[in-house]
């Protein structure tokens, strides 16, 4: 099974993908790991060509979960996915999650490959705000081609019900 989870910064992609991975026994590929080249935060981005090469390697695998919000280069992942899940909670919830992740990372509760700085967190919040409404509309248009396998989850309750019904 191939699953792609898409959503903005702080939408819950990583947490949700871990829950799905435990249910389906699948490996997770966090696209942030390939997109952000710096371990000191969210500062240096990979090229589009690099990302497409990474995705091409992942797509060749039989089973996986990918999660990320890189609209401009995910066509192959969407096309090959058996399930596509768009996590689209409110900006307010996403903003809280971004701050919580930053604080938990700084005090050592949450482990991450990138060490966010306050500057990078503020940049992520700016990006998260930008996600609405422009990016959401772009994603919804893109997902129309995959309506038969795409699901949109907009709340914690919807996510909980989705997982409960698997």
> For position 83, which CATH number holds?
3.40.50.300
In degrees rounded to 5, what are phi and psi of residue 146?
-125, 30
Residue at 60 is within a domain: yes
What pLDDT does residue 87 have?
A: 95
Residue at 166 is within a domain: no
Residue at 163 is within a domain: no
Taking the C-alpha atoms of residue 70 and residue 101, their distance in angstroms, rounded to an integer, is 20
Residue at 43 is within a domain: yes
Taking the C-alpha atoms of residue 63 and residue 141, their distance in angstroms, rounded to an integer, is 26
Taking the C-alpha atoms of residue 36 and residue 22, their distance in angstroms, rounded to an integer, is 26
| Domain enclosing residue 89, as ranges | 2-158
Low-confidence ranges of the chain (pLDDT < 50): none
Residue at 164 is within a domain: no
User: Helices marked H in 7-166 — which ranges?
Assistant: 13-24, 32-35, 48-59, 75-80, 91-106, 118-130, 136-143, 156-164
Residues 125-145: tens digit of each pLDDT: 887 777 667 888 888 999 999
Residue at 24 is within a domain: yes
* Cβ-Cβ contacts under 8 Å for 101 (sequence gap 6 or more): 10, 110, 112, 116
Residue at 123 is within a domain: yes
The tally of domains found in the chain comes to: 1
What pLDDT does residue 162 have?
A: 96
- Cα torsion 155, 151, 68, 13: sign: positive
Question: If 0-12 CB within 10 Å is exposed, 13-18 middle and 19+ buried, where does residue 124 land?
Answer: buried
Residue at 93 is within a domain: yes
What pLDDT does residue 120 have?
A: 78
CB 4 within 8 A of CB 84: yes
This prediction has a pTM of 0.85
Per-position b or e across 78-107, b if 16+ CB within 10 A of its CB: bebbebbbbbbbebeebbebbeebbeebee
């Amino acid at each position: 099974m191939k699953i792609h989870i898409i959503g903005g910064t702080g939408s819950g992609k990583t947490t949700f993908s871990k829950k799905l991975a435990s249910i389906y026994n699948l490996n997770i590929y966090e696209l942030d790991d390939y997109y952000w080249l710096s371990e000191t935060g969210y500062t240096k981005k990979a090229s589009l060509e690099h990302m497409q090469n990474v995705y091409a390697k992942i797509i060749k695998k039989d089973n996986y979960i990918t999660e990320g919000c890189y609209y401009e280069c995910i066509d192959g992942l969407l096309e090959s996915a058996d399930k596509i899940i768009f996590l689209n909670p409110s900006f307010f919830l996403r903003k809280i999650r971004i701050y919580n992740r930053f604080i938990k990372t700084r005090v050592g509760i949450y482990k991450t490959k990138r060490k966010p700085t306050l500057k990078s967190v503020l940049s992520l919040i700016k990006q998260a705000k930008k996600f609405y409404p422009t990016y959401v509309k772009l994603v919804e248009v893109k997902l129309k081609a995959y309506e038969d396998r795409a699901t949109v989850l907009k709340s914690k309750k919807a996510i909980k019900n989705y997982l409960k019904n698997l």
